[in-house]
A and B are shown apart, each in its own frame.
Chain A
Amino acid sequence: MIRAEYEVAGRAYDCAGEVSSDIKRKLKQLGIDAGTLRRVAVSSYEMEMNIIIHTLGGLIGLTVDSEWITLYSKDKGPGIPDVNLAMREGFSTAGEDARSMGFGAGMGLPNMKRNADTFYISSQMGTGTQITVTFRVIEGER
């Protein structure tokens, strides 16, 4: 099984996209099909930006075996007061600085859920948020 973990610092806008980039490279080397690659990339980028924009930092993990790709994130942050509300499209708590850079449209979490085969989120106020998304590996037709 492939395992990789990446630390992501809060406010690290200068590193934005680097984790997703590395994950994409790995999945290409493994021969994952373009469609799945795209869905994983969208989710890993959302995770990365969520940590950068909203938290004091955290980590993103990737595991791959021949059946499943799993992405998870754990952050140290304020937590999400109402997860159901955050799952609604258009809802965002992003600050002005993030919005001015084009983030905070409130599409992040719903987008992630839509792209993944399974989606799990839990959040504790004042502690942080954990998200796990999985994708089924498709072998053959590329």
Chain B
Amino acid sequence: MSSRFHSVRLIEDKCRGCTNCLKHCPTEAIRIYDRRAHIIDERCIDCGECIRICDYHAKVAQTDTLEDIRRFPYPIALPAPTLYGQFRHISDIAVIYDALIQIGFKEVADVARGADVVTMAIRRALKDPKRARPLISSACPTVTRIIQARFPALIPNIINIRQPMEIAAQIARRDYVKAHGVKPEDIGIFFITPCAAKMTSVRNPIGHASSSVDGAISIMEIYGHVQPLVSKILPIGRKPEFSPLGIGWAGSGGELDAAASRNSIAVDGIDNVIRVLEELDNNTITDLDYFEGSACQGGCVGGPLNYENNYLARNTIRAIQDTMPQALPEQLAENVDLGQDSLYFDQDILPNDAMKLHESIAGAIERMEEMNRIIDSLPGYDCGSCGSPTCLSFAEDIVRGNFSETDCVYILRDSLKVMAQKMVDISKTKRE
């Protein structure tokens, strides 16, 4: 798969070419021209801010659909714990499991099981004094991508543990093979995702070459299929194989509650995450053990592909946590045999150089000098009318050869004035 795959897409017919998404993209990855938005693939980190902000629903996450599970004889649903927060007054997860079987899955496995295993791995890492501090959670792929793009010096702090979804998929596949004697490749594991970023992680994992997950379907789509069923199902009872702390990962701070509650912070919302990473990058926070960041407000429950608002989803999940058996991650994770599967990264995380102006530093210096000259001639309103989010990024786009100075309506107006005056002057000249 191309290393530039990302999930956020534009539906051209719906886009009106307004500047809402342009102004909200944290990596300045959107430009507007030809009357519609364009995403700069190399810069998009799949945070989903544009999906949330677009009034016309022109931005979507490309995910798999329920149809796609038919590609596999044995499709397994792998719900993010966030799914359980979507159905008000349903506090028995078994009901949701049954509904998922009814819509076509052969089995349901749970990401929270992977979360319990990851919890234990984080606790072990925190005991190792040789590790960088603070360790930065790798659970939110958007946070990892923000670090690659804007804070490369913090890459060594990212904990080298795979996402709970990966671990849960490994366990689910092995368990199903063992129980049913089928070929591993006939099993299709579909993550039920609250966000675009996890979809991208399935296609393009960070830290390891391939994903153990075969596809991702949005919670929004699953909600439409499952909601009509849940009220008709009587809970049959099924003993969960994960802890309440495991499903707590759905909310911001849930990972800390499970793995690192002391001297650690949980930061949610992309702007807040960037602000705190900026401080970490300046070396002004030196005595912290763990940093949990979620690009979405409230954590995964605030993901752009959810139906329920994050506050109520969180409340529903708390009710589920209270009613389920009160096991601890250490009791459940110790029974998990990871076998040949890997809990850790086996590839380095590399910086994303998409902001670079030129391949060579000398070339980049030349371009920046040109940029500085252009900035002086711009009005500084950051209006976005040119199609670039700020005057500064517009100057950058000009030196990259993607825009021209007259794309700025103010420069255009001034040029027209000069031209008009010239026309007047010319019209007044008499024949010699």
Contacts and interface: CB of A to CB of B under 8 A. Distances in A.
Q: Pick the most buried of B281, B284, B361, B365: most chain A CB atoms within 10 A of its CB.
A: B361
Interface stretch (B12-20, B305-313, B352-360, B423-431): B352-360
Interface string B272-312: 00000011011110000000000000000000000000000
Interface string B333-363: 0000000000000000001010111111110
Contacts of A42: 282-283
B128 interface: no
B282 A1 contact: no
Contacts of B368: 2, 26, 29-30
A111 B372 CA distance: 31
Interface residues of B, number: 26
Contact of B361 (A20, A37, A137): A137
B351 A34 contact: yes
Contacts, number: 70
Interface in A1-37: 1-2, 4, 17, 20-21, 24-26, 28-32, 34-35, 37
A42 B355 CA distance: 21
B361 A31 contact: yes
A31 B353 contact: yes
Contact-residue bracket for chain A: 20 to 34
B150 interface: yes
A31 B282 contact: no
A1 B365 contact: yes
A38 to B, nearest CB: 4
Given A30-B357, A31-B356, A45 B153 contact: no
B281 A29 contact: no
Nearest to B368: A2
A82 interface: no
B121 interface: no
Given A29-B368, A34-B153, A38-B153, A24 B281 contact: yes
Contacts of B365: 1-2, 30, 64-66
A96 interface: no
Q: Pick the most buried of A31, A37, A139: most chain B CB atoms within 10 A of its CB.
A: A31
B358 A31 contact: yes
A4 B371 CA distance: 12
B355 A29 contact: yes
Given A2-B372, A29-B364, A45-B284, A17 B278 contact: yes
Interface of A: 1-2, 4, 17, 20-21, 24-26, 28-32, 34-35, 37-38, 41-42, 45, 64-66, 102, 111, 137, 139, 142
